[in-house]
Amino acid sequence: MKAKSAPEKIGHFRREVLITGFGGQGIVLAGNILGRAASLGDHRESTLTQSYGPEARGGACSAQVIISDATIHYPYVRNPDIVVCMSQGGFDKFAPLLRQGGTLIIDQDLVQPGKIGSDQVFSVPATRFAEEMGRKMMANIVMLGFLTAVTESVTVQAALRTVEASVPKGTEQMNIKAFNKGYDFGLATLKGRRKKAAGVKGVK
């Protein structure tokens, strides 16, 4: 899978994305930015449904985004193409829903994946990166950057613009930095996988 800016096959594009984690990690905001970037930025259809209730106060919560070129008739995610897990509870509950061949993205330091069916697994130390940049709460934005790089869900331009417009005033530059950190890490990860697949390890 490549980090492409926009898919070529108009009319066939459809992504179901499920983002999950603890309440307070900004899961819903991440889903919100993703969906708005797809609709307002990339001019596609998108829907967002989110879990309310007790989970939004500390348990496993989730945001479900569908992005499509065609009208979306049913807004709930049934067979997600992409599952993003930022907590173990979220992983246990939602990872099994991932469709065959789908992409699983986990926070490296928060989720122990154990044995998992899909070979498209990416782990990213999003929370650690955010901490290193001074704000743990930006982990969702780092994750969003990574997701933008490794999946074809939204274009990077749309995602960046939406991040800028969605975060609290005064923190835009910081969040853009966080997004780019995740995005660069995503590109580097893809590059590393390409190199390894081509048999390149070290310098020679």
Partner 1 sequence: MSDLKIVLFMCNWNPHAAFQTLQDDCADLPPQVRMVRIPCTGRISKSLLLRAFEMGADGVALVGCEAGSCRYGSGTAVAERNVEDTRGILDLLGLGKQRLQWATFLPEQAEDLLNFLKNFYAEILTIGQSPVLPTSHRGSAAMTREAAMRLMTSHDVFACQDCGKCSSACPLSLAGKPFSPRAMANTIAGGDLESLSMHEDIWSCLTCGICYDRCPSAVDFPEFIRDLRKVQRAGGKTGREAHGGFFQSLMRTMTSPDLRIEHWKWLPKDIQTDSHSKVLFFGGCAPYFDTYFRHHLGIKTRDVLVDALRLLNFFDIFPALLQEERCCGHDLLWTGDEENFLKLAKLNVAAIQDLGIEEVVTACPECYRTLSKDYAELGLRFDFRVTHLFDLAEQEIDKGAIGFAPLHRNITFQDPCRLARLNCASPVDASLPRKLIQRLQPQAFVEMQDRGISSLCCGNCAWTGCDAYTKALQVKRLRQARETGSDLLVTACPKCQIHLKCAMEDLFLGSDLKMEMQDLTTILAQNIRWE
Binding site for partner 1 (CB under 8 A): 124, 184-185, 187-189, 191-193, 195-196, 200-204
CB of 109 to partner 1, least distance (A): 14
Q: How far is CA 198 from CA 101, 149, 181, 193, 201, in A?
A: 21, 20, 26, 8, 9
Residue (of 75, 44, 63, 27) closest to 158 by Cα position: 44
Nearer to partner 1, 91 or 185 (CB): 185
Nearer to partner 1, 157 or 180 (CB): 180
Nearer to partner 1, 115 or 201 (CB): 201
CB of 3 to partner 1, least distance (A): 13
Nearer to partner 1, 50 or 189 (CB): 189
CB 35 within 8 A of CB 48: yes
User: What is the greatest pairwise CA distance in the chain?
Assistant: 55
CB of 194 to partner 1, least distance (A): 9
CB of 193 to partner 1, least distance (A): 8
Strand 82-85 vs strand 103-107: parallel, antiparallel, or unpaired? parallel
The single-letter code of the amino acid at 10 is I
